[in-house]
Structure formats: structure tokens, C-alpha cells
């Protein structure tokens, strides 16, 4: 018994030293949230490789068909790689944080103020500090976007202690306030917001097409007349069932976020509509222009536009200044709102 206890102690000490060395070489792994995010990403990549690799192991005729139809295999391979690239591209993208928008807005205001001061010198000199100017300019910019009658205290984040623009929310997973917050995606390890919602839609779209195509290949495996061992059919059935569940989830997610894109809404606004003061008394979609063609064009162009994070942050303010939905805002009585609950339930909020 003593020898067994000594061996277990030695193993624990060795594993502890190994983990310390790993954390020393990779400091990012010291955070538990980062480790869980990396594990989920690894699981997702392994799931893709398993689903596609099992086709070649279970279907012996697939290699011959690939040689006959190389263009077919090339398109499938491009889609497979594009989906993985889009996944990592989206997971590494910024959703657009309020603090970054605050810095950009303050720098813009500082540059314009310094230019005006050079043109018209002040009689009293520069008595206020740059930080005070930045905070006051930010407060002025944000409060212009809200309906009249509200104070800045109503929109101050209790965690970041900064004034939140409309449609923003503090994410407890990222510990930051996100512009046009939609949800925090655990599989991507990041929030979905103003800066990457279009990228997220394109990733879900590509993933859905890849899932449908892979499911078709599995169905062809079953209907083929080639004799196979029973264990191959058993493994193929299990993988096909997993694929069907993933496909159902992806289709619902794609339709739901297409609906959000065309109506200019977010998951958070639908789920928490009654708790958001400026949405509580509105009957219709407050931020929708009502033109589906414009929303679709914006969805397509957004994939390119959001490649530049600063442009996405600036757009968060220029769009609001051009289009303020509550110019004649008046509180009304409560109204019932039709919410698509069966779609909202499957979104990973």
C-alpha cells in the first residue's frame, strides 16, 4: 500500500510539473475560459475531419469516383477548407467593443477640436484635460442617439462604468460591452455583434451547405450495391444520425439569423425586448428600414465591410446619426409582441 501511495504521489508531482511547464510556455492556457474555448474548437475540427475521413474509410468506391469526377472532389474540398477557414476567421474576429468605439470616437473628436483650436485660439486656454474632453464628447455622442427624456445613468454599464450606445450589452464571458450585441457563441469563443455578425452568418451558411453535401454522400453510401461489413454500416448510421442533428440545428440557426439580418434585429433584442426601455413600447421592428432588398444587399456587402474593424465601429455611429428611429418618440401602452420562440430556443445564447 505504501508503494502504491508513493507512486501516485510521484505521478501527481510529475503531472503538476508538466502542467506548470506547459502554462509557462503557453500563458494563454492559464485561463480556464481560454482552455475550454480551445477544447471546443479542437472538438469541432476533429468532428469535421472524422465526418469526412470516415467516408473514405467506409466507402471503398469513393476513391474511384473521385478519380473519375475530379472537379466534384475539388469543389467539395474547397468548401470543406473554406468552412474551416471561415470558422477560425469568425472566432478570431472582434464583435466591436464599446471601449474601442469610445477610443475611436474620442480620437476623432480630439483631432477635430485641435484643428478648431488652431483656427480659433481660445481666450481662456486649454483648461480641461484630454480625458475630460474625451469623456464629455463620448457622452454627448451617445446621448444624442437615445430618445429624449433619459439620463446617462440609465445607460451606464455597472461593470465597465462606461456609457453604452443603443443596442449594446455587457458580455459576462468576454467581460466587455459589445456593440449591437447578439449573443456569446461558446463554439466560436467570442461574442457575435456589430463587427462580426455578417461573418457569423456566412459561416453558418457554409457549414449548412457542407453538412447537406456530406449527408448526401452518406446516403449514397447506404444505397450503393457494394457489399460491406456490418460494422461499417453501424458506424455509418451513427455518423449519419449525428449529421442529421447538426443539420437540423444549422438550418434553424440559418433561418433565424437570416430573419434577424433582414429585419435588423439581434437575438438579445428579441429575447429581452421587455427589459429594454426603448423597445418595450414599440409594436414593430424599431431599427428595420422595411426594405428587404436593402437589408439583403447589406448582408452581402457586410462580409467585405467588416474585414475592417474600425469601419464597423464608425458605422455604428454614422448609421444612427443618419437614421434615428425615435425622432418623434412617445411612450405608449404595453403591446403584445409576436416572438418566434421555436427558433429562439435553438440559438446558443
* pLDDT given at position 150: 64
* pLDDT given at position 328: 47
16-27 per-position pLDDT tens digit? 555 555 445 544
**CA-CA distance, 205 to 86, in Å (whole number)?**
10
Are the C-beta atoms of residues 101 and 195 closer than 8 Å to each other? no
CA distances from 279 to 146, 163, 273, 292 (A): 12, 18, 6, 21
* pLDDT given at position 124: 36
* pLDDT given at position 329: 46
The answer for 140, left when phi > 0, alpha when psi is -120 to 50, beta otherwise, is alpha
Question: Is residue 229 very low, low, confident or very high in pLDDT (cuts 50, 70, 90)?
Answer: confident
Q: Which of 100-109, 265-274, 301-310 has the highest mean pLDDT?
A: 265-274
Per the structure block, which three cell numbers stand in for 40?
A: 471546443
Find the mean pLDDT for residues 320-333: 45
Catalytic residues: 185
Residues whose CB falls within 8 Å of the CB of residue 310, separated by 6 or more in sequence, listed in order? 104
CA distances from 247 to 35, 113, 213 (A): 27, 54, 11
Q: Give the SS3 label for residue 176.
A: strand
Main-chain dihedrals φ then ψ at residue 222, nearest 5 degrees: -75, -40
Percent of the chain at pLDDT exceeding 70: 57
**CA-CA distance, 122 to 115, in Å (whole number)?**
12
44-94 per-position pLDDT tens digit? 999 999 998 888 888 777 777 777 788 888 999 999 999 999 999 999 999
* pLDDT given at position 27: 45
- What is the Cα 74 distance to its own chain's centre? 29
Are the C-beta atoms of residues 346 and 247 closer than 8 Å to each other? no
* pLDDT given at position 88: 94
Q: Which long-range contacts (CB under 8 A, 24 or more apart) does 100-104 make?
A: 100/309, 100/313, 101/165, 101/179, 101/313, 101/316, 101/317, 102/134, 102/138, 102/162, 104/310, 104/313, 104/314
**CA-CA distance, 188 to 200, in Å (whole number)?**
9
* pLDDT given at position 21: 56
Main-chain dihedrals φ then ψ at residue 107, nearest 5 degrees: -65, -40
Q: Give the SS3 label for residue 122.
A: coil
* Nearest Cα to Cα of residue 267 among 164, 202, 181: 181
Q: Which helix (H) or strand (E) holds 183?
A: strand 183-185
Find the mean pLDDT for residues 218-223: 85
108-124 per-position pLDDT tens digit? 655 555 544 444 443 33
152-204 per-position pLDDT tens digit? 666 788 888 888 888 889 998 888 999 999 999 988 989 999 889 999 999 99
**CA-CA distance, 177 to 97, in Å (whole number)?**
6
Residue 264 pLDDT greater than 90, yes or no: no
**CA-CA distance, 169 to 279, in Å (whole number)?**
14
CA distances from 325 to 9, 158, 289, 313 (A): 66, 26, 9, 19
Residue 255 pLDDT greater than 90, yes or no: yes
Amino acid at each position: 500500500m505504501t508503494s502504491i501511495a508513493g507512486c501516485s504521489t510521484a505521478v501527481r508531482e510529475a503531472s503538476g510539473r508538466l502542467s506548470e511547464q506547459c502554462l509557462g510556455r503557453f500563458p494563454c492556457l492559464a485561463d480556464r475560459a481560454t482552455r475550454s474555448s480551445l477544447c471546443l474548437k479542437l472538438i469541432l475540427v476533429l468532428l469535421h475531419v472524422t465526418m469526412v475521413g470516415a467516408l473514405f474509410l467506409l466507402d471503398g468506391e469513393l476513391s474511384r469516383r473521385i478519380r473519375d469526377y475530379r472537379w466534384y472532389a475539388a469543389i467539395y474540398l474547397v468548401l470543406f477548407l473554406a468552412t474551416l477557414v471561415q470558422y477560425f476567421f469568425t472566432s478570431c474576429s472582434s464583435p466591436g467593443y464599446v471601449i474601442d468605439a469610445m477610443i475611436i470616437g474620442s480620437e476623432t473628436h480630439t483631432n477635430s477640436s485641435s484643428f478648431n483650436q488652431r483656427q480659433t485660439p481660445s481666450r481662456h486656454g486649454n483648461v480641461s484635460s484630454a480625458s475630460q474632453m474625451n469623456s464629455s464628447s463620448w457622452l454627448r455622442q451617445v446621448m444624442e442617439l437615445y430618445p429624449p427624456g433619459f439620463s446617462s445613468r440609465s445607460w451606464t454599464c455597472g461593470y465597465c462604468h462606461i456609457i453604452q450606445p443603443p443596442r449594446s450589452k455587457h458580455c459576462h464571458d468576454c467581460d466587455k460591452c459589445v456593440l449591437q450585441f447578439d449573443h456569446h457563441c461558446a463554439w466560436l469563443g467570442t461574442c457575435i455583434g456589430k463587427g462580426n455578425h455578417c461573418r457569423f452568418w456566412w459561416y453558418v451558411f457554409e457549414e449548412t451547405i457542407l453538412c447537406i453535401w456530406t449527408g448526401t454522400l452518406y446516403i449514397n453510401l447506404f444505397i450503393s450495391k457494394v457489399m460491406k461489413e456490418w460494422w461499417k454500416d453501424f458506424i455509418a448510421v451513427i455518423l449519419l444520425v449525428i449529421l442529421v442533428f447538426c443539420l437540423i440545428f444549422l438550418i434553424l440557426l440559418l433561418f433565424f439569423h437570416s430573419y434577424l439580418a433582414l429585419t435588423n434585429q439581434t437575438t438579445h433584442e428579441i429575447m429581452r425586448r421587455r427589459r429594454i426601455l426603448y423597445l418595450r413600447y414599440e409594436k414593430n421592428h424599431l431599427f428595420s428600414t422595411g426594405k428587404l432588398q436593402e437589408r439583403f444587399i447589406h448582408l452581402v456587402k457586410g462580409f467585405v465591410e467588416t474585414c475592417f474593424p474600425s469601419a464597423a465601429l464608425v458605422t455604428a455611429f454614422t448609421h444612427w446619426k443618419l437614421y434615428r428611429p425615435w425622432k418623434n418618440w412617445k411612450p405608449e401602452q404595453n403591446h403584445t409582441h409576436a416572438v418566434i420562440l421555436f427558433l429562439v430556443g435553438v440559438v446558443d445564447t
